[in-house]
């Protein structure tokens, strides 16, 4: 007991020294204090996260709330930084470049050296401004400044005012960090400062009424006709953000109705609280002024549309010619494009009023054709006419690309090489021909073992034709109407080869896909024809025994999946990308839903001849999958990412089996990371005890676990640590299940349950947690995750919580759970 008290006393005594080193107080000068933390006290109606973005000064970022490693990193670089030496190096490098440029014999060489010289200057200028590379990885100690508190109070007050809290009150309390009278004399704690902001917004002002002050009757009529999209509604709280949105709406409304030279500067708002009776109400007057010189707003109607298809191209001794198609004047050196197809992507027509939306749609849809380097549109108003000029510059007709890198899908990363050949405008109808080949190697665990990793080879070649319209006997009028949705038709033929330790698998495929965008954020694809002939050969003896064992357990479909087969299906998918998913500036989301009907044709025709004549299995199934993701920005360097991934596949008909590629699996670096790839589940079905003596009775996760139903979810907190190194902590949960029991033993419960049951599936959801590092090299993100089991449904009830049994190193047994190390490329979701 006495020893414990001594240790406690020593720990308390050393704590200030430890924290002083961790938090960076040793870098403070005499009289300086460290801003340790800030807090905001505000009603729930106020967005505290938005307020945090208004802090003038921020505390140093801390790891797990107890250490600020970036401070130490900064001062490691600071101690070796010499501004005079850096400036001298910059001047020395600059003089070397000047000498090399002077001696250069060709203009091209001089230009290249000048570009390199400028890049070098920029790099040194960045270091002179922001410090050396190590300093930029870290951050200096956050020295408390009371002026910043005053400025933050002003920002908070202005923010509340902009939200309609005109009588708000914001106060700040500055205090030292103390926990007892004894510690008042502690010099370390006297260096720490915390600031508490208290916001008393009061009652918000409500929009009581609004009216327009518009002299131009044509504009007044236009505004009145479009009131249902107004962002300012009677009875809503006053909010300056809504005023900004309404100004943008009115500006676009004007420009979409011919007012080409209209500007937001003509729109002004006049909130007034004085004329009304007491009651925190506000009247808003919206004024749209007339131009000072003209005295009225002019509507512009397009007189002519000119389209130069090869701007920036110079042809010696050639003169551009042209012709008119659908009232558009095309000019070119060579007539390379089918104008019937090209004109479908032009939404500007002579005789129509100018529209900013149609202008942007034309620019975007022409860019979507993958035929032009750039697309520029300008308008000429000279001579009293209004002429639309479209300029495009063609991309190279032939293009070769080579790509080498590292990828991972199931196991450990391996190298890959891609080669692509592209020919544009192959039939002069803006079609594209692509020929691509790929070969890659990965380290994967064989299906009959989880201890060793073997080389898996994947190779393939694909040829495709892409047409910028629906290949379908539509009338021309319908084609022009569809053009605004960026319609495409793609026909693809391919061959894929996979060699794993247990088998070799080949697949010939042919498919045709229609795609279109209803909006820029939504993509639709429909594949009415998706055909594959799959053959599996060179099955190892161990893998044959595995298939036989699974068949004995009642998993008949797995064996059928590895027979020579003919797979045909129809697929419809919707992809929704909200605010460019993955950006680090604002919250974003992504969703993809896909429905596949396999063997639909065999519902009409008898497919037995496929089996009898060609010795091929055929499949009939329905498969639905849903992938939803979201990223929330919670700070300058912190994000929270969520994901839900689910699906179900139902086989019917004669075979009552799924192709192996259509099964669902759980576990792995992009799934439940505490389990090995494809080794989780199904349900609470128990894996056998390993017969390998070296495993000391550990469960045998050597067999892949295909299933019919998938549900998994993940939450991951990502935090920038320093430089290109980011950290993450995560929680994964989920499992896979089958529609039918895996075996008679499963029904009795002695081998666990593989079947999805509404009354028990929630007890069979596996949970894993862990942490990891992400190395962001810009061109590549290398990911390393450590997965730790928390809840293992394969264990007996009452023993499923296994977090207390985790073991990072050493021999494992049924009483210990090994951690799983995952290496991946890119983020898991």
The pLDDT value recorded for residue 20 is: 47
pLDDT digits (tens, 9 = 90+) for 691-749: 554 444 456 666 778 899 999 999 999 988 877 888 899 999 999 999 887 654 344 44
- CATH number of the domain at 304-394, out of 3.40.50.970, 2.60.40.10, 3.40.1110.10, 3.10.20.310? 3.10.20.310
Which has the higher per-residue pLDDT, 720 or 675?
Answer: 675
Measured CA to CA, the distance from residue 818 to residue 806 in angstroms comes to: 6
Other C-beta atoms lying within 10 Å of the C-beta of residue 541: 9
| CA angle (257, 262, 266) in 5-degree steps | 125
State yes or no: pLDDT of 260 exceeds 60: yes
Nearest to 413 by CA among 681, 672, 719, 670: 670
Q: Is the pLDDT of residue 21 over 70?
A: no
Give the per-residue pLDDT at 178: 60
For residues 456 and 677, give the distance between their C-alpha atoms in angstroms, rounded to a whole number.
Answer: 14
pLDDT for position 183? 47
- For residue 297, pLDDT over 80 is answered with yes
Q: Which two tokens stand for residue 339?
A: 């104008």
Same CATH topology for 206-288 and 304-394: the answer is: yes
> What pLDDT sits at residue 558?
66
Any idea where the domains of the chain sit in the sequence? 82-130, 206-288, 304-394, 515-637+646-653, 664-829
Residues 590 and 578: beta-carbon distance below 8 Å: yes
Instruction: Give the pLDDT of residue 308.
Output: 95
- The stretches of 321-424 forming alpha helices (DSSP H) are 339-342, 356-367
pLDDT at 590: 94
Q: What is the pLDDT of residue 692?
A: 54
* Per-residue pLDDT band at 474 (split at 50, 70, 90): confident
Average pLDDT over residues 191-215: 90
186 falls in which pLDDT band (50, 70, 90)?
Answer: low
pLDDT, position 790: 92
> pLDDT tens for residues 551-585?
666 566 667 677 888 899 999 999 999 888 888 77
Task: Summarize the confidence of residues 354-366 as an average pLDDT.
Answer: 94
Q: Tokens 């047409």 belong to which residue?
A: 467
Instruction: Mean pLDDT check: name the lowest of 290-304, 500-514, 792-806.
Output: 792-806
Structure tokens at 234: 């009677």
Q: Note the pLDDT of residue 348.
A: 95
**pLDDT at residue 700, as a whole number:** 61
pLDDT score, position 22: 63
Quote the tokens at residue 202. Answer: 């009061």
**Whose structure tokens read 């020579």?**
564
- Does pLDDT of 3 surpass 50? no
pLDDT tens, position by position, 480-523: 888 888 999 999 999 999 888 788 889 999 999 999 988 778 99
Say whether 791 sits in a helix, a strand or coil: strand
Per-residue confidence (pLDDT) for residue 16, from 0 to 100:
43
pLDDT at residue 664, rounded to an integer: 93
| Stretch 609-633: mean pLDDT | 88
pLDDT: which is higher, 811 or 573? 573
CA distance 635 to 50: 10
The mean of the pLDDT values for the chain is 84
Distance CA 600, CA 681 (A): 30
Model pLDDT, residue 306: 96
**pLDDT in the model for residue 452:** 54
| Cα gap 511→529, rounded to integer Å | 5
Question: Going by C-beta distance under 8 Å and a sequence separation of 6 or more, which residues neighbour residue 369?
Answer: 345, 430, 468
By the 8 A CB rule, do 726 and 783 touch? no
Whether pTM > 0.75 for this model: the answer is yes
Beta strand 725-737 with 709-722 is: antiparallel
pLDDT of residue 332: 92
Q: How far apart are CA 749 and CA 747, in angstroms?
A: 5
Whole-angstrom CA distances from 723 to 57, 125, 141, 639 are 21, 19, 17, 17
Distances (CA, A) of 152 to 175, 176, 196, 419: 16, 19, 11, 55
Q: How many CB atoms lie within 10 A of CB 815?
A: 12
Note the pLDDT tens digit of each residue in 131-162. Answer: 888 888 888 888 889 999 999 999 999 999 99
Token digits for 473? 């006997």
Name 479's Cβ contacts closer than 8 Å, sequence gap at least 6. Answer: 344, 469, 470
- Tell me the C-alpha to C-alpha distance, in Å, between residue 2 and each of 7, 8, 12, 87: 9, 10, 15, 60
**Residues in a beta bridge with 529:** 512
C-beta of residue 713 within 8 angstroms of C-beta of residue 644: yes
* The pLDDT of residue 272: 83
Please tell me what DSSP assigns to residue 693. Answer: G
Unique residue bearing structure tokens 């996760």: 701
Query: Distance between CA 447 and CA 549 in Å, rounded?
Result: 13
**DSSP letter for each residue of 721-748:** EETTEEEEEEEEEEEEEBSS-S-HHHHH
User: With respect to CATH, is domain 206-288 assigned 3.40.309.10?
Assistant: no
In this predicted structure, the answer to whether residue 377 has a pLDDT above a threshold of 60 is yes
pLDDT recorded at residue 387:
96
Question: Does 643 score more than 90 pLDDT?
Answer: yes
CB neighbour class for 803 (10 Å; exposed up to 12, middle 13-18, buried from 19): middle
CB of 58 closer than 8 Å to CB of 39? no
The secondary structure of residue 600, as a DSSP letter, is G
**690 vs 373, more confident:** 373
Q: What is the 3-state secondary structure (H, E, C) of 260-289?
A: CCCCHHHEEEEEECCCCCCCCEEEEEEEEC
Structure tokens at 292: 């000072």
Averaged pLDDT, 599-624:
83
Distance, CA of 47 to chain centre: 25
């Amino acid at each position: 007991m006495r020893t414990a008290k001594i240790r406690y006393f020593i720990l308390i005594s050393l704590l200030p020294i430890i924290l002083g080193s961790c938090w960076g107080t040793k870098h403070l000068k005499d009289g300086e204090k460290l801003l340790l933390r800030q807090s905001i006290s505000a009603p729930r109606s106020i967005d505290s996260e938005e307020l945090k973005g208004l802090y003038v000064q921020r505390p140093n970022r801390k790891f797990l709330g107890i250490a600020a490693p970036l401070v130490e990193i900064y001062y490691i670089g600071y101690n070796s930084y010499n501004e005079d030496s850096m400036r001298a190096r910059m001047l020395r490098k600059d003089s070397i470049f000047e000498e090399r440029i002077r001696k250069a014999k060709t203009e091209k060489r001089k230009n290249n050296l000048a570009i390199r010289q400028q890049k070098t200057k920029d790099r040194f200028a960045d270091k002179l401004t922001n410090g050396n590379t190590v300093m930029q990885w870290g951050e200096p100690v956050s020295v408390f400044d009371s002026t910043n508190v005053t400025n933050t109070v002003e920002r908070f007050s202005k923010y509340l005012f902009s939200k309609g809290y005109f009588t708000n009150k914001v106060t700040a309390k500055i205090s030292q960090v103390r926990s007892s009278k004894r510690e008042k004399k502690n010099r370390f704690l006297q260096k720490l400062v915390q600031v508490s902001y208290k916001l008393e917004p009061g009652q918000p002002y409500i929009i009581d009424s609004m009216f327009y002050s518009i002299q131009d009757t044509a504009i007044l009529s236009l505004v009145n006709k479009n009131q249902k999209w107004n962002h300012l509604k009677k009875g809503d709280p006053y909010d300056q953000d809504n005023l900004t949105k309404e100004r943008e709406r009115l500006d676009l409304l004007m420009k979409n109705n011919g007012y080409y030279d209209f500007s937001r500067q003509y729109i002004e708002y006049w909130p007034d609280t004085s004329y009304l009776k007491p009651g925190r109400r506000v009247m808003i007057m919206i004024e749209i002024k007339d131009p000072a010189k003209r005295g009225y707003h002019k509507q512009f109607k397009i007189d002519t549309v000119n389209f130069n298809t090869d701007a920036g191209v110079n042809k010696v001794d050639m003169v551009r010619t042209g012709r008119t198609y659908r009232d558009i004047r095309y000019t070119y050196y060579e007539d390379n494009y089918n104008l019937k197809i090209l004109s479908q992507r032009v939404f500007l027509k002579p005789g129509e009023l100018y529209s900013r939306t149609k202008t942007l749609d034309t620019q975007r849809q022409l860019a979507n054709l993958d035929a032009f380097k750039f697309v520029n549109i300008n308008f000429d108003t000279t001579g009293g006419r209004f002429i639309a000029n479209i300029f495009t510059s063609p991309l190279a007709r032939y293009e070769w690309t080579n790509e080498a890198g590292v990828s991972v899908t199931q196991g450990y990363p391996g190298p890959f090489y891609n080669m692509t050949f592209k020919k544009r405008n192959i039939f002069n109808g803006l079609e594209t021909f692509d020929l691509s080949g790929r070969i890659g190697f990965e380290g994967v665990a064989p299906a009959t073992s989880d201890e060793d990793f073997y080389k898996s080879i994947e190779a393939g070649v694909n040829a495709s034709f892409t047409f910028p319209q629906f290949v379908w006997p539509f009338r021309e009028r319908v084609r022009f109407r569809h053009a605004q949705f960026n319609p495409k038709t793609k026909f693809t033929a391919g061959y894929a080869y996979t060699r794993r330790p247990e088998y070799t698998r080949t697949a010939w495929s042919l498919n045709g896909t229609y795609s279109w965008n209803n909006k820029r954020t939504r993509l639709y694809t429909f594949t009415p024809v998706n055909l594959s002939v799959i053959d599996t050969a060179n099955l190892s003896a161990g893998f044959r025994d595995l298939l036989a064992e699974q068949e004995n357990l009642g998993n008949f479909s797995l064996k059928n999946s590895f027979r020579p087969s003919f797979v045909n299906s129809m697929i419809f998918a919707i992809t929704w990308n909200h605010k460019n998913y993955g950006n680090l500036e604002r919250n974003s989301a992504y969703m993809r839903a896909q429905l596949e009907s396999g063997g639909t044709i065999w519902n009409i025709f008898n497919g037995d001849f496929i089996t009898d004549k060609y010795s091929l299995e055929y499949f009939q199934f329905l498969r639905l999958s849903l992938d939803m993701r979201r990223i929330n920005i919670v700070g300058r360097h912190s994000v929270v990412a969520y994901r839900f991934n689910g699906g179900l596949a139902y086989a019917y008909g004669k075979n009552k089996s799924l192709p192996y590629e259509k099964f669902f699996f759980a576990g792995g670096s992009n799934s439940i990371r505490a389990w090995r790839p494809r080794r989780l589940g199904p349900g609470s079905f128990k894996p056998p005890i390993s017969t390998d003596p070296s495993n000391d009775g550990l469960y045998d996760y050597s067999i892949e676990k295909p299933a019919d139903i998938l549900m998994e979810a993940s939450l991951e907190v990502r935090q920038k640590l320093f430089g290109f190194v980011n950290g993450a902590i995560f929680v994964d949960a989920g499992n896979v299940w089958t529609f039918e029991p895996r075996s008679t033993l499963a029904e009795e419960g002695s081998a666990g349950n593989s079947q999805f049951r509404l009354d028990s599936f929630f007890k069979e959801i596996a949970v894993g947690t862990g942490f990891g590092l992400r190395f962001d090299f810009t061109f590549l993100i290398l990911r390393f995750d450590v997965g730790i089991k928390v809840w293992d449904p394969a264990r007996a009830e009452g023993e499923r919580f296994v977090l207390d049994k985790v073991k990072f190193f050493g021999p494992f047994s049924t009483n210990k759970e090994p951690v799983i190390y995952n290496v991946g490329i890119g983020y898991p979701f």
